[in-house]
Chains A and B, each alone.
Chain A
Amino acid sequence: MIALSNYLILGAILFSLSIAGFVLNRRNVITLLMCVELMLLAVNMNFIAFSHYLNDIKGQVFVFFILTVAAAETAIGLAIVVLLYRNKKTIDVQELDSLKG
């Protein structure tokens, strides 16, 4: 028998891993986008675990919408990355400092 807390702890581990990814990979925009995906996966894991253990389908509906929004976010984010590379010839976060005063 697997407890609800096992799934929640797995979600917490995934979430903190992606936070570590944000801090460690401060250079590549694509890796940052992948860390966002990992974070959303952790959140979805929590939603589905609660949906199963509370016997409520609404959690799964919520995950459905999160998947939709995440797909939209990824498409636009990657389009912006492509545009960024075309204009600046780099996707290095540290070199994108045009807004620095």
Chain B
Amino acid sequence: MTIPHIIEQVVFYFSAIMVVISGIMVIAQRNPVRGALALVLAFVFSAVLWILLESEFLALALIFVYVGAVMTLFLFVVMMLDMDIEPMKRNFVRYLPIGLFISVLVLAFMIYVVAPEHFGLSKYAKPLHASAAYSNVKELGHVLYTKFVYPFELAAVLLLVAMVSAISLALPVVRERKLQNPAEQVMVKREDRIRLVNVPSEKRID
């Protein structure tokens, strides 16, 4: 075991433990602001793990998109809503046994499936490190703009739809808008609009 391997292991285990700890903080915090900050921590350490897996572009996208945009949106919404944290305490203890039971069950099944005897180093050997000339961004962009160009454009359309729907959902409804009512315009009668006034003519003044 050489020094780089030891460093890799230390980075992996430290980041993995930090991800798990911040995940526990996300679900155990009563204050949603602290929960959001714990989720940011989870994203940052996941980005470290993704860099360890040599997918640099997605690690940076996770930081930029998630921490920079999505979690900021979360914090904005959390701070905009004036929610009471107090009554949220009650259910936590009540649902703790069933929650622990379900999650431990799911975890046991998943670990049984992905156990080291199925996905260990003997089955899937660690691939060689990419050379210094290898560019993950270049590789991903190449695939994305040739083979997956239609899904890529669909993703752009999806983002547009999401933007339009989010704006139209959250835009406050203005009651005093000056809108036309076409039915009213069509149904209008002559008597509604025109009033004939019989004005007596004045005498001529000499």
Q: At the interface, yes or no: A9 with Cβ under 8 Å from chain B?
A: yes
Report the nearest A residue to B109, measured CB to CB. Answer: A12
Kindly list chain B residues whose C-beta atoms are within 8 Å of the C-beta of A1. 5, 8, 121, 126
Instruction: Write out, one digit per residue, whether chain A residues 46-87 have a CB within 8 A of any chain B CB (1) or not (0).
Output: 001101111101101101110111111111101111110110
Q: At the interface, yes or no: A96 with Cβ under 8 Å from chain B?
A: no
Interface residues on chain A, size class: 35 or more
Q: At the interface, yes or no: A99 with Cβ under 8 Å from chain B?
A: no
* Contact residue among A41, A76, A82 (Cβ-Cβ distance under 8 Å from B42): A41
Could you name 7 residue pairs across A and B whose Cβ atoms are closer than 8 Å? A3-B119, A4-B121, A17-B26, A27-B88, A38-B27, A53-B126, A71-B70
Query: For chain A, what secondary structure do more than half of its interface residues adopt (helix, strand, loop), or is it mixed?
Result: helix
* Contact residue among A4, A21, A71 (Cβ-Cβ distance under 8 Å from B124): A4
State how many angstroms separate the Cβ of A20 from the closest Cβ of chain B: 4
Given contacts A1-B126, A10-B16, 10 further A-B contacts (CB under 8 A): A3-B116, A3-B121, A5-B116, A21-B26, A25-B27, A34-B26, A37-B39, A38-B27, A57-B139, A68-B158
* Contact residue among A21, A24, A51, A60 (Cβ-Cβ distance under 8 Å from B91): A24
